[in-house]
Amino acid sequence: MDKRRKPNPAERRRDLCDAAIHLLAHDGAKGLSHLKVDRRAGVPDGTTSFYFRTRSALLRAVAERLAELDLATLQSVADDGSTARPHQPSPSRLSQVVIQAGTEPQLSRTKARYELTMQAARDPALAAILQQATDAFTKLHREILVQLMPRGGELEPAVVEDLSNITLTFINGLLLRFAHGDRIIDSPEQLDGILTAISTGVLKSSGKGGLTRTGNAPVGRRRAVASG
Amino acid sequence: MDKRRKPNPAERRRDLCDAAIHLLAHDGAKGLSHLKVDRRAGVPDGTTSFYFRTRSALLRAVAERLAELDLATLQSVADDGSTARPHQPSPSRLSQVVIQAGTEPQLSRTKARYELTMQAARDPALAAILQQATDAFTKLHREILVQLMPRGGELEPAVVEDLSNITLTFINGLLLRFAHGDRIIDSPEQLDGILTAISTGVLKSSGKGGLTRTGNAPVGRRRAVASG
């Protein structure tokens, strides 16, 4: 009989999800199967099927694991900013986190997230989990932005909404390029410069907000595509 | 015998690619097969396999078809801008094109492109075709930007490079959000306002360029990820 300590169920689930993240990042959604997760995690065949009966259940667990990892990283930035250094010197930790997300080992998480997002278009339960993570990320991103900007606390909510929407959309595009090996910038200092430039332009152009959709239609809420 | 006019091979290939784009957009990469393309295009079983022997050949043809459709759209914007109205009123046709890309029927092309891009990570020949399209798009985007900006022709190349990189990355992020049903803006006027705000900020922050990687490492060139 095997006398090694058996990992507890929570550890086992986490290890299986981490193996699935690796597979998604390197082989894509088509390269993910319960058996391949078993082999990658070095556990007996059938283990992943025992913990996650269906493919959708496995994908949902992976989405939750990714959200847990990403939010832990982002939360550490918010915590740091809110205590010791409200207005941080360059490079900001926000930019450090984004640049890290484009560099291994975190780049695999970034790639896996895009694979999941594509799957989510056809899996409402998975989409709901990813949307929760997006909403939480959006909220934290906004808090960090306000902390990072001089007199950020005095900005109109609509302006903060614009700044948040626009910089987050830029970061989405940047991470997508990183995921495809296209590193248009390398350093957090460069990203700070760009985010500052964008924010400066948004503040100059729109003292009252309204550049992006705000108010009754929260960012991230899925809505019917307007015709025309 | 069937007496209807047979489409010529070029038309047939185009129809098959258009059916494949629909399948990729609605069912994802896993929903694409030669037989499903036959059924979607309403042609005899085996037709798609006759024209495209392998899955990779089919995906490459779809990438070429998407590039053809997208560049035709974008080229019409550049042509228009360079002749009748060098400095166009709002909304710019660039913004109109981007907003259209987030609205059906063009939204399907946007979604299909993301599916192909994910596949390209594991298919170098496909990646090369998509990269060609990206490079062409980047070049045209830069030309349009210069046309749209007052005194755009007098800007330093490094500044144009920054403006192009940063606005294109924002547009990448915007289209990704559109593909997931997340419409943070609805109108080309809104997009014009945002692109103007971003450009204003970039010009104010960086009169000499250098916010993004330029020069020896062209945008879009895949390079090894820097460690650390």
For A94-114, write each residue's pLDDT tens digit: 888 889 889 888 999 999 998
CB A26 within 8 A of CB A5: no
Among B165, B173, B226, the residue with its CB nearest the CB of A184 is B165
A138 touches chain B (CB under 8 A): no
Check whether A42 has a pLDDT greater than 80: yes
CB B109 within 8 A of CB B18: no
pLDDT reported for residue A89? 60
CB B145 within 8 A of CB B210: no
In the structure encoding, which two tokens stand for residue A36, read together?
């391949």
Give Cα B125 to chain centroid, integer Å.
Answer: 18
Q: Which domains does chain A have, with CATH numbers?
A: 7-53 (1.10.10.60), 60-205 (1.10.357)
Decide if B202 and A197 are in contact by the 8 Å CB cutoff: yes
Confidence band of A155 (pLDDT split at 50, 70, 90): confident
Q: How far apart are CA B70 and CA A122, in angstroms?
A: 25
Check whether A6 has a pLDDT greater than 90: no
pLDDT reported for residue B124? 93
Contacts of B211 in chain A (CB under 8 A): 185, 190, 193-194, 197
Q: How far apart are CA A117 and CA A131, in angstroms?
A: 10
Q: Tell me, what's the ipTM?
A: 0.83
Mutate to test the interface with A, among B100, B182, B206 (most CBs of A within 10 A): B182
The 8 Å CB, 24+ separation contacts for B127-133 are B127/B222, B129/B60, B129/B63, B129/B64, B129/B67, B130/B63, B130/B67, B131/B220, B131/B222, B132/B67, B133/B63, B133/B66, B133/B67, B133/B70, B133/B71
Confidence band of A224 (pLDDT split at 50, 70, 90): very low
Check whether B87 has a pLDDT greater than 70: no
Helices B93-101, B55-83: axis angle to 10 degrees equals: 150
pLDDT reported for residue A228? 29
Of the ranges A70-74, A118-122, B213-217, which is most confident?
A118-122
Residue of chain A minimizing CA distance to B24: A118
Residues 31-60 of B with CB under 8 A from A: none
In the structure encoding, which two tokens stand for residue A150, read together?
């001089």
Average pLDDT, chain B: 82
Residue of chain B minimizing CA distance to A202: B197
CA distance B190 to chain A (A): 6
Q: Which of A211 and B186 is assigned the larger pLDDT?
A: B186
Of the ranges B23-37, B45-59, B119-133, B192-206, which is most confident?
B45-59
CB A94 within 8 A of CB A100: no
In the structure encoding, which two tokens stand for residue A41, read together?
């995690």
DSSP annotation of B226 reads P
In the structure encoding, which two tokens stand for residue A167, read together?
């910089």
Q: End-to-end alpha-carbon separation of chain A, Å? A: 67
Check whether B83 has a pLDDT greater than 70: no
Check whether B36 has a pLDDT greater than 80: yes
Decide if A211 and B198 are in contact by the 8 Å CB cutoff: no
